[in-house]
């Protein structure tokens, strides 16, 4: 019996939708990164982008455990002297919920060209509305 090696031409991608309401950010992000990478498939190949498309809705309702709302800090730097900007998780959740979820998932993907290709298949929305109904996404639990 010959072994099967996945190539980018033989990849079959599905669409999945996850509801982030009251689910801890890290648990939801690990599930999404796992599926974006394609590790849930039996034909997973590490050097090929064989993951699926993931839609995350209700990012503004994602849960954070413990004192993370007050203590967790997000950093940005403009690369100019004195250009450090800090925001707490509470500010990120109120004003930039999609960015908060995207940052959590992006950090769990490979940090190379392959990871950037995987990240392009992630779609995050702050509320329950999304424009991907034509793709008929399959609902999955993030727990």
pLDDT score of 3: 85
pLDDT score of 2: 86
Task: Map residue 59 onto helix, strand or coil.
Answer: helix
**Does residue 130 sit within a domain?**
yes
pLDDT score of 25: 96
Distance CA 12, CA 104 (A): 26
How many distinct structural domains can be found in the chain? 1
Q: Which residue has the tokens 């648990």?
A: 27
pLDDT score of 4: 83
Distance CA 36, CA 54 (A): 7
Residues in the chain, pLDDT under 70: none
pLDDT score of 5: 86
**Does residue 3 sit within a domain?**
no
pLDDT score of 143: 74
- What CATH number is associated with residue 105? 3.90.1180.10
**Does residue 86 sit within a domain?**
no
Q: If we measure between CA atoms, which residue out of 50, 63, 51 comes closest to residue 100?
A: 63
End-to-end CA distance of the chain: 37
**Does residue 103 sit within a domain?**
yes
**Does residue 90 sit within a domain?**
no
CB 31 within 8 A of CB 101: no
pTM, two decimal places: 0.93
Q: Which domain holds residue 126?
A: 15-64+98-140
**Does residue 7 sit within a domain?**
no
Distance CA 37, CA 119 (A): 9
**Does residue 134 sit within a domain?**
yes
- Residue 12, Cα to own-chain centre: how many angstroms? 19
Q: What is the DSSP letter of 111?
A: S
pLDDT score of 119: 97
**Does residue 71 sit within a domain?**
no
Burial of 69 (0-12, 13-18, 19+ CB in 10 A): middle
């Amino acid at each position: 019996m010959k072994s099967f090696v996945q190539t980018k031409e033989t990849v079959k991608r599905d669409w999945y939708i996850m509801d982030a309401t009251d689910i801890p950010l890290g648990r939801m992000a690990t599930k999404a990164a796992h599926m974006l990478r394609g590790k849930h498939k039996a034909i997973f190949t590490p050097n090929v982008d064989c993951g699926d498309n993931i839609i995350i809705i209700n990012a503004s309702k994602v849960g954070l455990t413990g004192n993370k709302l007050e203590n967790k800090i997000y950093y940005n730097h403009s690369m100019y002297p004195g250009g450090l900007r800090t925001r707490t998780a509470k500010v990120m959740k109120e004003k930039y919920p999609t960015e908060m979820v995207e940052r959590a998932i992006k950090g769990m993907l490979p940090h190379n060209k392959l990871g950037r290709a995987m990240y392009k298949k992630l779609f995050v929305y702050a509320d329950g509305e999304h424009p991907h109904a034509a793709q008929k996404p399959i609902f999955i639990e993030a727990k």
